[in-house]
Amino acid sequence: MLNLITIITITYNNPKDFKKTYDSLRDFREGGGKHIVINGGNSVKHFVKNDCFLIEEKDEGIYDALNKGICLTSTPYFMLIHSGDLLVASNDILEKQVSLMKDRKLDILLNDCTLDFGKSKRLMSSKLWRPWMFKLGAQPPHPPTLYNYSSVKNIKYDTGHPIIADFDYLERIFKGIPKYDRGGKTLIHMSAGGKTSSGLSSFFSVNREFRKLKGTLVSFCFIFTRPLIKIIQMI
């Protein structure tokens, strides 16, 4: 069943973090899962065995690299685990996720992840998220999402939004009214400090991009609604 899933990892000049991610996927690869690594920086060949598909070439950033990885997917389902994040779900849990998608003919399966806060970690849950929350600037926890490749293969990350392309990507997917459900499992542990969560400078950068995407009035509303929804999602 694991041979039906591809996990895509992108990395750029952070070999120590990439090694942690790569090692966390060992059982997944040994169980037959496909692992695609897109590296836009210094070589990581010395970390990688013949158990994954590695491409090393320059790219135009995170979302260009993700588009490359998705285009290379040859399995019915895929998910994304960025360099520095860890797969914490067992092979058995992942196989049950695939069975759920197959049995219910789902396009999207939402799940949960934990987020590193130094000495503690928080659960980021998809339990209370609903598609209408895109109007408040809130997306579900996107890394632990399982995608049906045939349902989303024609939707690409827009590299013109270098910080919020993940929001735009999921919003466009859900505009197609996909059949989705919640798997209710914690699949990934994420390191803190991503592009959208790195302090005040990141907060204002995100708001500038939302202003380009949604207009001034909506982006102003998001200043208040996005943090509120994130607090609700965190347990």
Is residue 200's pLDDT more than 60? no
Structure tokens at 219: 């982006």
Q: What is the pLDDT of residue 120?
A: 77
Note the pLDDT of residue 132: 94
Q: Kindly indicate the confidence band of residue 201, based on its pLDDT and cuts at 50, 70 and 90.
A: low
**What is the reported pLDDT for 205?**
79
Among candidate residues 144, 149, 147, 167, the one with its CA nearest the CA of residue 157 = 167
pLDDT at 185 over 90: yes
Q: In angstroms, rounded to a whole number, what is the distance separating the alpha carbons of residues 173 and 170?
A: 5
**pLDDT, position 139:** 92
- pLDDT for residue 112: 96
Domains of the chain and CATH, by start: 2-233 (3.90.550.10)
Q: Give me the pLDDT at residue 119, please.
A: 74
Check residue 125 and give its pLDDT. 92
pLDDT at 184: 93
Q: Confidence class of residue 197 from pLDDT cuts 50, 70 and 90?
A: low
